Structure formats: structure tokens, C-alpha cells
A and B are shown apart, each in its own frame.
Chain A
């Protein structure tokens, strides 16, 4: 897939500057959103798609200001509904490249219903879910991804809710594409955005994003310089799962469970490790990979799942083409005269 991407870069001389908005970017200094914006601005001109064919759609929240900061067609919707706005846009005009920007509150709380249904319908759109595990724009209440027991403005004694894992939810809802990146890794963000763009179907990218004001360092265990090598494993299709500062740890499938193993000990070498197959249709292993988290596991980064299945928009398009060809009623006058009529 990466080769295919390289082959169609830089069509029509579209550059990053073509997408830079004249609007002042009003995210807080130090907010992870800046890095995500910058990665997308790098990716869009590389996709070989005319610039007027992009539509960026969002709901409500800090992340959802995104459409104003990219010079494309854009729609800043209402809270939780970006997925269905995107659905209407894509069904209406399947030629558009639709990018949806959302957050953990927008898509997993108020928009949870739309989120699972857009995943199962497999509409060909790209969803970037900024997960900072907090409500930022409303100033610091817990979200559906906030860890159990966590103290926030609306949980002064700690939350008593089990959090959602976005990937698990998406795959459980029959999602065909799930990738994860951190806002501290621009290269990885660009890579997964590129893969998401080329995936035919609903692509979900979860970006672990830092809210510098209300939840600073929430992802530190995953992203800090000291811990990231041991707490992240980068998935590459066809390659074994190896991680650790010294590349000395791996993930093995033992029975029906994943296990962290030390390479070079107890007769474990690379051949014993789980080899990543992002194209496997069965969601079992992808689900386990999406669930991995410290302290037991490193968190999986990169493309976890990428399965080719028919998309809703393509199926709709072909249904309409077939009916237009085979259907008996070709215009509304014929429709009005169909069935029982009589003359007076």
C-alpha cells in the first residue's frame, strides 16, 4: 500500500500552501492539535486529489474547530453529529474525499450511536478521533475514555465509569480500518493518514492527543521520552511485533492470548512472535492488539486493521446505476401514471 501511495504523489502541483487557511489558529499554545493539523496539511497535497474535492467535517469540541484551519470545503457541525453529516455528504457526492475530525466526547459520548453505525456501514470516509480523555472546550469534565477513578471537575471523587477503548469499539462495530498514533509522532501520523486515505471504507485513526490545559501529560506513560520505547509497539504488516529500547521484547500469541516475551530468553526468537497481518478479516487478533495497554502491554501504534469490504457509498452508487438501467419508471410522469388509473 505504501508503494501505491508513493506512485500518485504530487499530482497537479498541489502543495501544502494550497491548504493553509487564512484564519488564525485559536488552539492553546502547546495543544497537540497543532501537530495533527500540520501532519494533515502535509498529507492532503500528496493524495493526488484536486483540492476542491476535499471536505473536512467536524462536530463540537476543540478538535472540531479543525475545518476552519484548512482551506478546503468544510462543515463545522453540531455536537456528536459529524459522522452523519459526513454520511450525507459522501452519499450525496461519492467523488468527495471526506475527512471527519472529532474527539472522545464528540464521537464516543454524545455521538456514540452515529460512531458505531458509520463504522458498520463502512462508508468511504476518514475519521480522525483526537483522544485526550477529557472535555476540553467545556473546561475539564471527564469523557468516555477517562480512566476509572480519575479526578476531574465533574468527578471530584474520581470517576466510577469503565472507559471506552476507541479501537475496540470500532472493531466491535465491524470497522474495517483502525490505526493509532500519538500527537508527538508527526511521521507516524502522516503515515497512518496516508493509509487511511487509501483505504476504501470507514478509516478510524485514534490520535492520542495532549490537552495542555485540562489534562496535561495524560498520555505521558505512552509518549514520554523515558517510557515510549517500552510502552509502544509499532505495527508493520508482515513483520513480527518487536519493541523496547533495545528491540529485545516481542508479542507472542500463546493459546488465545497475547503475551509479552523477552527475545533471546527461553528459546524465544523472532520466529516465535506474532506477525502482524493488518488485512486479516477475522477481528480477533486486531481486537486484542487494539486493547493492549500498559502496564501489561505496550500500546499498539500504526495500522492495526485494514480490511477490504464493500463500502456503503459504492453499493448505493451501483444500486442506483442498476435501477436506472433496469427500472421501468424513468421519470416522474411515468411514476404518476403507474398502477391503476382511469380517464374522466
Chain B
């Protein structure tokens, strides 16, 4: 009966939907239930939550708006999307804030009951946007969501507050109709979440269906609905995962594979805290989590734990990385394995904590006293945070060196579809542990290939030794101020990190190996670069993408790749850090740069227009 009433069904390749409301409106839940339905429908998707910086900013103001964007599709989805095809605005303030993110001609669904004089003035509207031509370019669905929500459960014994808290489910019901979604995943959620309260299960189900039925009864909604066919994803078991969750789990997997118990020393900081919170849940896997008194204590406790034999991690964001600088030098000097996760945010100083940026690269590479090289790796998608956390741990443990893993606020809080791997299929991890009473043991004797020292754990008979921040004598490891020895040791430490390149995969190029324009990017901008480059490739341009995950050392074929293109451009969400690093190392090439530093991601359109400009020029 339901589908019979549908009018025209438009088949779409991909769609961007944004839900927006006050921070108490349950927007994140609405978005996540809509994501679940997309998953069940077999779509690929990526999501991004947009929280206000304040915990409970004044209700009804633009400062308190919470958003959730989902990009889902039949095709492979690389980002949470630029501009929305559909905006669901629960109040005037979210409409005001998000209007500029809606595509011209896009659909906007508003709760007309919430457009009162008071809410309009709080949101900063002089005249209701429903009454003037503010929304002239959009397909506006004026739905009295609040009153219909109330009406749909009026025979149930529910207080006003509970009912109003559920109006997001009415909106979700409308969206379910519009995209022909099944109720099951949402119903399952209600039954699990409200197990102890059957009345609330019932009311939520009712409201969801009321929204659906309402949409079905409205001509403006019924006449055109949409279908997004399943994506062609590889067979397997999938889940939705955020970057921070994936990072935490990657370390747990590395701990299990390496046999080294996990230790996290960390101080809460936005947007990295979820790593601390997540790992603290998994004591059943032996994870020891120490919430330190400050950032320095976070890393130094991890260095102590590393000395004692743990897979040692510290997680932070930019300001915390600054505080950890001296201690990273200690880990360099003592040549102990440790992973420092920097979930980058907009700086400098406190900057814009909830906004993302790629501006800690230089700090990661060089922000220490003395010659203090470390491995620097950058994850490039929410789900591959799992893999790169794992690889960071592997490289730290096997090469006996600190590794800085860069992610960012977008990867950390965004989510995407993740094909679940088997831990046994991940590469093995073999730390260079020393056996008890090894007669050849010397604290700074090195492996001739990797140049790493070995790991002798306190408590092991026959290996008592002392390490520390003072320069060490080659091999023996006693304190040394000998000039030539210092040069030898500095070169060993640098060489050890450089030789990691021998163990890394070659840099891949997406597109032709030769061409007119090579786009070089790194870290969290992968998705949007892919969209832009694939778009231009489809139009016949000779453009390729080299997206870097291994920053220090760079993959061994980097120079070779650079030589095959007429022009090279390096777009970054900073003022030009990777480009500077490349110019330093590859002086024979000319690198164009394209930089955005607004706490916002690149949009596909701004990239394609810049790339087109370079492709046209001669």
C-alpha cells in the first residue's frame, strides 16, 4: 500500500543529507539511525558530526546548533560530502547556520511549529525565512513536526518533554519515506536502547511511522522520491567506524599481535579524548590506561611503560604535542618504541578546538631540540586509522623508535563503512626482545640492517643496564660526551629512521603514471582529493593523485613519481607545510601550492576549479 502511493522515483548515484537542530534535539542519534538504514540498504557512506564547541550553548542560538551530515551512495563514497541535497532543520537557528551548505535547488525540511517570534529572534531572523524569499531557491517542505508528533502519541500516557524529545524521530520518518528506507534497524535500536521502558519503545516506533505516513500523504513529498542503489562493496562483514575508534582498535590489534601489553598514558584533549575513553573500556584485553595529570605525564609515563616492555601509546592534539616535545626527544635518545597520536585541530595555541586542520606537520617532523628524527605517518580515512595505528605500532616496536601518527578532527569524529579484517591477516609484529642472560647484549648494539637497538626488559636476569637522556657511547651505552661519538650516534638515529623506507610499500599513484598535473596530498584530505581528481579524470584530463600516508621517511619511489608530471600541486589545510618539506628534499621540481585554513575541509568544487586553472595554463 505504501509504495503504491509513490510518484516518480528518481535513482541517484549519491546523496548528501544534513540533519541540524539544537544541541538537545537528538541530531546525532537521528543521523546515526539514518546511517544504519543506509548500511542495511547496502550503500557505502561516510558521516560527519558537527558539534558546537560549547557543551550546552544557549538554546535556540546559532552557537548551540548541532549537525550531522551523511553522504551515501551507490558509488564508492570518499567523504562526508560538501553541499547537502537535503537539509532537515528542526529550528530556525540550524536553518540560519546551515543554509549556505545546501545545494541550490536542494530540499529543506523545517518544523514550522518551531518558527515562532521568540525562536526567530534568538536565531537572528528579523523576518521569518518562511515568509520572505530567503528560501526561494529551494524546495521547502513546511511540516508541523512538533504538533504532529504530539498528535501521533496523544492516546499514550507521555509527558510533554518526552514527546518533544522524540520529534526527531518524526523527521527521521519523513526521511525514511523520501529514501524508501526500512524501519527495522531503527526499531532494533529502540528495542535495545529502551529495553526497560516498553512505553518509550512503542512511542518511538509510532512517531517514526507517523513521520513516514505524513510524508506519504503530502503531495510535495510523495510526487518525487529517491532511490540509491546498493554499492558494489567487496564481500565481507562491515561496520560503521569513527577515526578515533579505529585508532584505538588498531593499537589493541597491534598489542595482541605483538604480544606486548598495551599502555596508554594520556590527558584529555579535544578531539583526541575518545581514544583515551575507548581504550579505558578494554581492560579485558589487558589494556592499561593511565589518565595522566598533564600531557607531559601522558607521554613520559608511556616512555616508562615502553622501557618496562609495553606497547606504549600517548594520544593528544596539537597543543599537547607541543608539551610532549622534550619527552619525544627522550624517546629518540633512549631509542624506545612509542606511538604519539596527534589528532590535529585548528591552531595555533587553543585555536579552534573542534575544527580540523593539517597544521601540525612541521611540529611532528621537527618540533624538538637537537637532531631528533621520528617516523611520521598520517592516516587518510576514518577506517584506515585502524590500519595506520597498527602500522605505527609495528614500526615503533620493530625499529625501536618513536612514531608520530597524525590524524585530524575530521577523521577522528567522522565515520565511514569499515570492512572488518581478521587480526590474523594483519602483518606480523616482531619486537627485537633480548633473551635472559644473552652474553652478547649491549644496550646500544645495533642491528646491521635496521640500525635499531634491542629491547631488554627490566626484570630479565642478566641484562641490567641504564639508559637516559644523556648521549650514549656507541654500542656500550655509557654516558659519553665524546665529539666523534656524538656524530656517529646522531647519524645512527637518523639512519635508523631513514632505513624504515626499505620496509614501506611504494607510493601509489591514482591515475596514469605520467601526465599534465600531479596532485600531492597527505592525511585527512584523501577523500576530497579522490573525488576531485576522479572527476577531472572522467572529463579526460591527464591528472593523477599521489596521496601520502608515509611522511617520514617518504616512500623510496617519491622522486621517480614527481619526475613524470608537467606540473605538481600540493593542496593542504595549512599555509603550506608538506609542500615546504617536499621543496626541501626535491629541489629540482617546482611545486605549486593551494592552501585553505578556515577550520573547514576542502570542497570538491574549489579543488577542481584550481586544478582546471593549472591544467589550462601553459
Interchain CA distance A23-B461 in the complex, whole Å: 20
Instruction: Answer whether residue B350 sits at the interface, using C-beta atoms and an 8 A cutoff.
Output: no
Contacts of A87 in B (CB 8 A): 290, 297, 301, 304
Option from A23, A50, A341 in Cβ contact (under 8 Å) with B420:
A341
Decide: A52 and B421 in contact? CB cutoff 8 A. Answer: no
How far apart are A320's CB and chain B's nearest CB, in angstroms?
A: 5
Decide: B284 and A324 in contact? CB cutoff 8 A. Answer: yes
Interchain CA distance A59-B42 in the complex, whole Å: 56
How far apart are B242's CB and chain A's nearest CB, in angstroms?
A: 12
Decide: A76 and B470 in contact? CB cutoff 8 A. Answer: yes
Task: Find the B residue at minimum CB distance from A93.
Answer: B308
Contacts of A328 in B (CB 8 A): 284
Decide: A76 and B235 in contact? CB cutoff 8 A. Answer: no
Contacts of A58 in B (CB 8 A): 468
Contacts of B293 in A (CB 8 A): 113-114, 117
Instruction: Answer whether residue A137 sits at the interface, using C-beta atoms and an 8 A cutoff.
Output: no
Knowing A71-B464, A73-B464, A92-B261, the reply to whether A329 touches B307 (Cβ < 8 A) is: no
Task: Find the B residue at minimum CB distance from A313.
Answer: B288
Instruction: Answer whether residue A5 sits at the interface, using C-beta atoms and an 8 A cutoff.
Output: no
How far apart are B300's CB and chain A's nearest CB, in angstroms?
A: 4
Contacts of B233 in A (CB 8 A): 344
Query: Which of B87-95, B162-170, B175-183, B248-256 is found at the contact surface with chain A?
Result: B248-256
Decide: B305 and A88 in contact? CB cutoff 8 A. Answer: yes
Knowing A84-B301, A329-B284, the reply to whether A77 touches B249 (Cβ < 8 A) is: no
Knowing A84-B301, A85-B303, A93-B459, the reply to whether A344 touches B326 (Cβ < 8 A) is: no
Knowing A52-B464, A332-B285, the reply to whether A91 touches B290 (Cβ < 8 A) is: yes
Instruction: Answer whether residue B7 sits at the interface, using C-beta atoms and an 8 A cutoff.
Output: no
B278-298 CB mask vs A (1 if < 8 Å, else 0) is: 000011111010101110110
Query: Of B283, B304, B421, B422, which is in contact with the most chain A CB atoms at under 10 Å from its CB?
Result: B304
Instruction: Answer whether residue A78 sits at the interface, using C-beta atoms and an 8 A cutoff.
Output: yes
Contacts of B249 in A (CB 8 A): 332, 335-336
A81-139 CB contacts (< 8 Å) to partner B: 81, 84-93, 95-96, 113-114, 117
How far apart are B313's CB and chain A's nearest CB, in angstroms?
A: 11
Contacts of A77 in B (CB 8 A): 300, 303, 330, 468-469
Instruction: Answer whether residue B225 sits at the interface, using C-beta atoms and an 8 A cutoff.
Output: no
Knowing A77-B469, A340-B36, A343-B237, the reply to whether A50 touches B297 (Cβ < 8 A) is: no
Q: Chain B: interface residue count, which band?
A: 35 or more
Instruction: Answer whether residue A62 sits at the interface, using C-beta atoms and an 8 A cutoff.
Output: no
Task: Find the A residue at minimum CB distance from B386.
Answer: A336
Knowing A84-B296, A87-B290, A320-B286, the reply to whether A336 touches B312 (Cβ < 8 A) is: no
How far apart are A85's CB and chain B's nearest CB, in angstroms?
A: 4
Task: Find the A residue at minimum CB distance from B466.
Answer: A74
Instruction: Answer whether residue B130 sits at the interface, using C-beta atoms and an 8 A cutoff.
Output: no
Contacts of B265 in A (CB 8 A): 84, 88
Instruction: Answer whether residue B234 sits at the interface, using C-beta atoms and an 8 A cutoff.
Output: yes
Decide: A78 and B239 in contact? CB cutoff 8 A. Answer: no
Option from A52, A91, A337, A341 in Cβ contact (under 8 Å) with B458:
A52
Contacts of A344 in B (CB 8 A): 42, 233-236, 238
Instruction: Answer whether residue A239 sits at the interface, using C-beta atoms and an 8 A cutoff.
Output: no
Instruction: Answer whether residue A277 sits at the interface, using C-beta atoms and an 8 A cutoff.
Output: no
Decide: A333 and B423 in contact? CB cutoff 8 A. Answer: yes
Instruction: Answer whether residue B114 sits at the interface, using C-beta atoms and an 8 A cutoff.
Output: no
Query: Of A77, A88, A331, A342, which is in contact with the most chain B CB atoms at under 10 Å from its CB?
Result: A88
A61-81 CB contacts (< 8 Å) to partner B: 67-68, 71-78, 81
Instruction: Answer whether residue A280 sits at the interface, using C-beta atoms and an 8 A cutoff.
Output: no
Contacts of A90 in B (CB 8 A): 304
Interchain CA distance A6-B235 in the complex, whole Å: 68
Interchain CA distance A114-B301 in the complex, whole Å: 11
Decide: A88 and B286 in contact? CB cutoff 8 A. Answer: no
Task: Find the B residue at minimum CB distance from A339.
Answer: B239
Option from A23, A51, A72, A88 in Cβ contact (under 8 Å) with B304:
A88
Contacts of B467 in A (CB 8 A): 74-76
How far apart are A271's CB and chain B's nearest CB, in angstroms?
A: 45
Knowing A73-B465, A84-B296, the reply to whether A332 touches B253 (Cβ < 8 A) is: yes
Interchain CA distance A174-B282 in the complex, whole Å: 29
Decide: A89 and B237 in contact? CB cutoff 8 A. Answer: no
Instruction: Answer whether residue B263 sits at the interface, using C-beta atoms and an 8 A cutoff.
Output: yes
Instruction: Answer whether residue B12 sits at the interface, using C-beta atoms and an 8 A cutoff.
Output: no
Decide: A91 and B263 in contact? CB cutoff 8 A. Answer: yes
Instruction: Answer whether residue A213 sits at the interface, using C-beta atoms and an 8 A cutoff.
Output: no
Decide: A84 and B292 in contact? CB cutoff 8 A. Answer: yes
Task: Find the B residue at minimum CB distance from A67.
Answer: B466
A23-73 CB contacts (< 8 Å) to partner B: 23, 50-53, 55, 57-58, 60, 67-68, 71-73
Knowing A77-B300, A88-B300, A95-B459, the reply to whether A333 touches B422 (Cβ < 8 A) is: yes
Instruction: Answer whether residue A323 sits at the interface, using C-beta atoms and an 8 A cutoff.
Output: yes
How far apart are A63's CB and chain B's nearest CB, in angstroms?
A: 14
Option from A91, A113, A330, A337 in Cβ contact (under 8 Å) with B305:
A91
B428-460 CB mask vs A (1 if < 8 Å, else 0) is: 000000000000000000000000000001111
Query: Of B253, B261, B300, which is in contact with the most chain A CB atoms at under 10 Å from its CB?
Result: B300
Instruction: Answer whether residue B240 sits at the interface, using C-beta atoms and an 8 A cutoff.
Output: yes
Decide: B458 and A331 in contact? CB cutoff 8 A. Answer: no
Interchain CA distance A341-B40 in the complex, whole Å: 9
Instruction: Answer whether residue B10 sits at the interface, using C-beta atoms and an 8 A cutoff.
Output: no
Contacts of A255 in B (CB 8 A): none
Contacts of B326 in A (CB 8 A): 78
Interchain CA distance A341-B419 in the complex, whole Å: 10
Interchain CA distance A74-B470 in the complex, whole Å: 13
Instruction: Answer whether residue A267 sits at the interface, using C-beta atoms and an 8 A cutoff.
Output: no
Instruction: Answer whether residue B479 sits at the interface, using C-beta atoms and an 8 A cutoff.
Output: yes
Interchain CA distance A332-B296 in the complex, whole Å: 29
Knowing A52-B459, A85-B303, A342-B39, the reply to whether A68 touches B466 (Cβ < 8 A) is: yes
Decide: B237 and A341 in contact? CB cutoff 8 A. Answer: yes
Task: Find the A residue at minimum CB distance from B234.
Answer: A344
Task: Find the A residue at minimum CB distance from B254.
Answer: A332
Instruction: Answer whether residue A264 sits at the interface, using C-beta atoms and an 8 A cutoff.
Output: no
Task: Find the A residue at minimum CB distance from B290.
Answer: A91
Contacts of A324 in B (CB 8 A): 283-284, 286
Instruction: Answer whether residue A254 sits at the interface, using C-beta atoms and an 8 A cutoff.
Output: no
Interchain CA distance A113-B256 in the complex, whole Å: 34
B466-479 CB mask vs A (1 if < 8 Å, else 0) is: 11111000000011
Contacts of A76 in B (CB 8 A): 466-470
Decide: B307 and A89 in contact? CB cutoff 8 A. Answer: yes
Contacts of B305 in A (CB 8 A): 88-89, 91-92
How far apart are A6's CB and chain B's nearest CB, in angstroms?
A: 26
Contacts of A309 in B (CB 8 A): none
Option from A93, A320, A322 in Cβ contact (under 8 Å) with B309:
A93
Instruction: Answer whether residue A295 sits at the interface, using C-beta atoms and an 8 A cutoff.
Output: no
Decide: A75 and B466 in contact? CB cutoff 8 A. Answer: yes
Contacts of B286 in A (CB 8 A): 320, 324
Interface set of A (CB-CB < 8 Å, partner B): 23, 50-53, 55, 57-58, 60, 67-68, 71-78, 81, 84-93, 95-96, 113-114, 117, 316, 319-320, 322-324, 326-333, 335-337, 339-344
Name 17 interchain pairs, CB-CB below 8 A, sorted by A.
Answer: A52-B460, A84-B300, A87-B304, A88-B265, A88-B301, A90-B304, A95-B459, A96-B308, A327-B284, A330-B285, A337-B239, A339-B239, A343-B238, A344-B42, A344-B233, A344-B234, A344-B235
Interface set of B (CB-CB < 8 Å, partner A): 36, 39-40, 42, 185, 233-240, 249, 252-253, 256, 261, 263, 265, 282-286, 288, 290, 292-294, 296-297, 300-310, 312, 326-327, 329-330, 334, 420-423, 457-470, 478-479
Query: 10 smallest A-B Cβ distances: which pairs?
Result: A327-B284, A88-B304, A76-B468, A74-B466, A88-B301, A92-B308, A323-B283, A73-B458, A88-B305, A92-B305
Told that A77-B468, A337-B239, A343-B237 touch, could you supply 20 new A-B pairs with CB distance under 8 A? Answer: A73-B458, A74-B468, A76-B470, A77-B303, A84-B301, A89-B304, A89-B307, A91-B305, A92-B263, A96-B458, A114-B293, A319-B283, A320-B288, A327-B285, A331-B256, A332-B252, A332-B256, A333-B422, A342-B40, A342-B239
